């Protein structure tokens, strides 16, 4: 009997600048290895207090728009009580309340069932931590 639950952690380098990092290919590769044509759910989770996951369009400016919106909502200035790290770092700790650290997505016949323009992305505004982990978990249904 095939495993009904499989989980793996991947390493992602986000660098020292704010970024929206596309994980869609990594998710598809993972499902290609473990789903074997089955349907179920893919859970994507990042175990970091300063990063989140978003399902958005990438490559047409929406990723930059998201970062601009976050800068407007969460300015990198001295208003934050959490003050270690680079200036404005406290906002990075508020980010997961707005861009959650998890997403659960449908998998149909082994393929991630995203809309035409949707991508799974890691949103990282914390330039102090250039390396992240993301846990991919497939639950067959």
User: Where do the structural domains in the chain lie, given as residue ranges?
Assistant: 5-140
Evaluate if residue 22 carries a pLDDT over 80: yes
The whole-model pTM stands at 0.95
Three-class DSSP category at 102: strand
CB 11 within 8 A of CB 130: no
Going by pLDDT thresholds of 50, 70 and 90, the confidence category of residue 136 is very high
- What contacts 2, CB < 8 A, 6 or more positions away? 36, 38, 140
CATH architecture of the region 5-140: Sandwich (2.60)
Average pLDDT over residues 8-34: 97
Instruction: Compute the average pLDDT of residues 125-140.
Output: 96
Give the Å distances, CA to CA, from 138 to 2, 8, 59, 78, 134: 12, 9, 27, 41, 13
What are the tens digits of pLDDT across the range 57-90?
999 999 999 999 999 999 999 999 988 888 889 9
- What is the C-alpha to C-alpha distance for residues 129 and 94, in angstroms, rounded to an integer? 16
């Amino acid at each position: 009997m095939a495993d009904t639950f499989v989980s793996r952690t991947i390493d992602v380098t986000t660098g020292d600048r704010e970024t929206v990092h596309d994980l869609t290919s990594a998710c598809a590769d993972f499902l290609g290895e473990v789903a074997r044509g089955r349907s179920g759910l893919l859970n994507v989770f990042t175990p970091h207090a300063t990063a989140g996951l978003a399902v958005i369009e990438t490559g047409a400016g929406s990723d930059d728009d998201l970062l601009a919106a976050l800068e407007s909502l969460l300015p990198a200035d001295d208003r934050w009580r959490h003050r270690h790290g680079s200036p404005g770092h406290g906002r990075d700790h508020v980010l997961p309340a707005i861009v959650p650290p998890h997403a659960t997505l449908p998998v149909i016949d082994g393929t991630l069932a995203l809309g035409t323009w949707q991508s799974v992305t890691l949103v990282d505004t914390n330039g102090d931590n250039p390396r992240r982990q993301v846990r991919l978990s497939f639950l067959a249904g």
